[in-house]
């Protein structure tokens, strides 16, 4: 399939079968809960519950609260979570809460791994800098070139890996 944007902001998927028009409203659950959470719960949700949640998020919206300790409140905001608790069954709410918590833990894990990777490369660069300093007799320019030449690409790769992971899991929907 070939995807194109129309002037009205719709995403159109053209294939040999026909065209499918997608709007940002079609991704409201992905924006609210995250793509990985939606994929995880798709098999559990009934079509009625999914339609009810889509209508709820389109009508009510959500306002994330990054300072909140609870993962669902951090993702949606306290007022939205309170209204959502009244809308769905306790089991569905618990499943959503657990899935969002697991998603947040995966995000944190990916960030820690990327940070540790950059730190390891930086330490290795500093060791190489020290060795070059002692062996070359203080050729500072060469030492800094080697250090910067290995540290900055590592930082770029780590940031790109975290962004790519978030995009793959639907937590970074910049197009909408």
CA dihedral of residues 39, 28, 45, 169 (deg, nearest 10)? 10
pLDDT in tens, 89-130: 899 889 888 988 888 888 888 888 888 888 888 888 778 777
Kindly list the domain boundaries of the chain, sorted by start residue: 2-168
The reported pLDDT for the residue numbered 168 is 65
> What does pTM read for this prediction?
0.58
Q: Is the pLDDT of residue 24 over 50?
A: yes
């Amino acid at each position: 399939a070939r995807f194109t944007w129309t002037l009205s902001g719709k995403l159109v998927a053209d294939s040999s079968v026909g065209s499918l028009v997608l709007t940002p409203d079609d991704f409201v659950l992905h924006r609210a809960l995250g793509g990985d959470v939606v994929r995880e719960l798709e098999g559990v949700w009934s079509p009625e519950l999914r339609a009810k949640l889509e209508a709820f998020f389109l009508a009510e919206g959500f306002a994330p609260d990054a300072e909140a300790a609870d993962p669902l409140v951090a993702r949606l905001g306290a007022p939205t979570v309170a209204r959502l608790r009244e809308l769905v069954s306790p089991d569905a709410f618990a499943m959503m809460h657990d899935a969002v918590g697991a998603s947040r833990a995966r995000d944190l894990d990916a960030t820690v791994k990327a940070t540790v990777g950059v730190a390891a490369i930086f330490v290795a660069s500093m060791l190489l800098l020290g060795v070059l300093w002692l062996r070359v007799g203080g050729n500072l320019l060469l030492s800094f070139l080697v250090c910067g030449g290995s540290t900055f690409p590592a930082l770029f790769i780590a940031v790109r890996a975290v962004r790519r992971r978030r995009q793959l899991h639907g937590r970074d929907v910049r197009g909408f």
